Amino acid sequence: MSAERIPILRMGSYLLVTIQVDMYDQLAMMLQDDLAHAIGQEESRGLLIDISALEIVDSFIGRMIANTAAICRVLDAETVIVGMQPAVAITLVELGLSLSGVHTALDVGRGMALLERAAARHT
Amino acid sequence: MSPGPIVSNQAFYQLRSDVDVAAARRGVRDWAQELGLTVLDLTKVVTAASELARNTVVHGGGGVMCLQVVRVGARQGLRLMFTDNGPGIPEIDRAMEDGYTTGNGMGIGLPGAKRLVNEFELSSTPSDGTCVTIVRWKA
């Protein structure tokens, strides 16, 4: 069994994940669990997931992203997905996934700004 | 009757685990790139392959993906066949409906994959397995 894990970085009260490896399903599930624990334990205000290196988002990864955002919301944190390739976005919608309830931004900078605005509204 | 497509190259991928699904996905990506599909068409066929390969593993108990470069006249494309010896799909019409699921998925795999390709053919016999064939033609 591979011990490969996707690193979760902390930036102040935000968590940052950059997916740069080929995601097989088990790895996606481990990331979802790791993120839920990290958000819960460290009282984060938001989570930013950079998927600019992902060549595809299929229903499994899409569900993992939607689940993670739902878990974060329950734990009082916002999730933003950044860097989705246009071809991935078109394919995702045609596949039938809308990722409703998940914030998206074009790049990391805009994603962080979005999280900060959400946190400011909250306090 | 029109003659079937000419197969100019083919490869087989074993599908037994999620790691195999990822490897099959990479295979489709590499071949689609080699064939010169646009980024969008490549993304669509790789995504469809990912859904169908996962179905083969999860619902079919494992199987094989046969990848072929096919040609009809001047038209070239990628044909993928996913075969398993699993329990088969009892209600094919319902399985092709958006949102219909027998497991804990979202029920978008089959109808979603169909929307991402040019040709889609599903044959399934109870207790004898399932075969899904898709084609994405080069624009």
What 3-state DSSP class applies to B33?
Answer: helix
DSSP assignment, residue B32?
Answer: H
- Work out the pLDDT band at B3, boundaries 50, 70, 90: low
| A 35-74 residues with CB < 8 A to B | 55-60, 63
Strand order across the B75-84 sheet: B6-15, B63-72, B75-84, B129-137, B119-125
The per-residue pLDDT for range A25-34, each reduced to its tens digit, is: 999 999 999 9
Q: Give a yes or no: residue A3 inside a domain.
A: no
Return the bridge partners of B130, or none: B84, B124
**Among candidate residues B110, B117, B102, B95, the one with its CA nearest the CA of residue B45:** B117
Q: Which residues of A touch B111 (CB under 8 A)?
A: 96
| Alpha-carbon distance A43 to nearest alpha carbon in chain B (angstroms) | 30
Among A46-55, A105-114, B98-107, the minimum mean pLDDT is found in B98-107
Q: Is the minimum CB–CB distance between B18 and chain A shorter than 8 Å?
A: yes
How many domains does one find in chain A? 1
The pLDDT of residue A105 is above 60: yes
Contact (CB<8Å) A59/B105: yes
Q: Give a yes or no: residue A94 inside a domain.
A: yes
The domain that holds A118 is classified in CATH as: 3.30.750.24
What 3-state DSSP class applies to B12?
Answer: strand
Q: Give a yes or no: residue A101 inside a domain.
A: yes
| Arithmetic mean of pLDDT over chain A | 92
Instruction: Let me know if domain B6-137 sits in CATH 3.40.50.720.
Output: no
DSSP assignment, residue B38?
Answer: -
Contact (CB<8Å) A96/B116: no
Quote the tokens at residue A87: 């071809």
Place of tokens 């009892």: B90
> How far apart, in whole angstroms, are the C-alpha atoms of residue B56 and residue B11?
17
Range of A55's domain?
8-122
Q: Is the minimum CB–CB distance between B108 and chain A shorter than 8 Å?
A: yes
Domain boundaries, chain B: 6-137
Q: Give a yes or no: residue A96 inside a domain.
A: yes
* Best mutation target, A29, A95, A97, to test chain B (most B CBs within 10 A): A95
Q: Give a yes or no: residue A1 inside a domain.
A: no
- Classify the phi-psi angles of A35: left when phi > 0, otherwise alpha if psi is within -120 to 50, otherwise beta: alpha
* pTM for this predicted structure: 0.92
The per-residue pLDDT for range B84-132, each reduced to its tens digit, is: 998 888 778 888 888 777 665 656 789 999 999 999 999 998 888 999 9
Q: Across the interface, which of A23, A57, A60 has its CB nearest the CB of B54?
A: A60
DSSP assignment, residue A61?
Answer: H
DSSP annotation string for B71-127? EETTEEEEEEEEEE-SS--S-HHHHTSTT--SSSS-S-HHHHHHHTSSEEEEEEETT
Which residue of B lies nearest to A64 if distances are taken between CA atoms? B105
Between B5 and B42, the higher pLDDT residue: B42
The CA distances from residue B137 to A105, B77, B78, in Å, are: 32, 4, 6
Count chain A–chain B contacts defined by CB atoms under 8 A: 70
Cβ-contact A89, A56 below 8 angstroms: no
Q: Which residues of A touch B44 (CB under 8 A)?
A: 87, 91, 94
Q: Is the minimum CB–CB distance between B47 and chain A shorter than 8 Å?
A: yes
